[in-house]
Structure 1
């Protein structure tokens, strides 16, 4: 009997989140990608360490790599410990890779990691977004709209 497929984006434990990405970029499409990790990297992520604040993804040789993500060395690791800022391979289907490669090359879009999490099956995953950078006026408009929504909620709560 075939194993039932898990629901898409069933996040269980979020390890690292790039909260600034939604402010700096206009998010277009979001993908869920696996990460090729070593044993001590998985242990460090499970203990809640790791940062993707200044990281990005790029396409090299028909593969996608996560660059500049920081997973600190595992505290109980020995001389076989991993390098903290090494490039890590992201695991996607070849058709998704070609789609992302075309968008990055032709449309000038960027691959931004939004979060690193463990899914329901215990696998480390990255939420990867295809995004376009926002200019300063766009950021100001987004801030103004967010503040107006907050004020609107206050007004409705006080009047109602």
Structure 2
């Protein structure tokens, strides 16, 4: 399978005082604001590249995990992943994926193994040149 996706970034002004917008072809992002303040400070409404990387990584990882679980005849009731992107000294130095899963009839060790495989084969994991830490919790109800 081969496909392409497209997004646009527009920036106006200086690095610190300027502002920009992000738009995705799907229009999920539609002139979504971003700026120095939304990236390096808190309080202003808008997004930032690190937040978007976290969302992309969490989304890709959960979908990959779901496919791998299905291959082993499991179907998750819920997979909930928080992605924390750490930015230090001009670089993304770590991403922590905190997974909480409710998967009927699976034991914790097998869930751990499949989750770690998903982290390794997830296309976004493979794209990123940083330390990726995975924390796994099985919460079967």
* TM superposition score normalised by structure 2: 0.30
Q: Which of the pair has more CA radius of gyration?
A: 1
Q: Which has the higher contact order (CA 8 A, sep 6+)?
A: 1
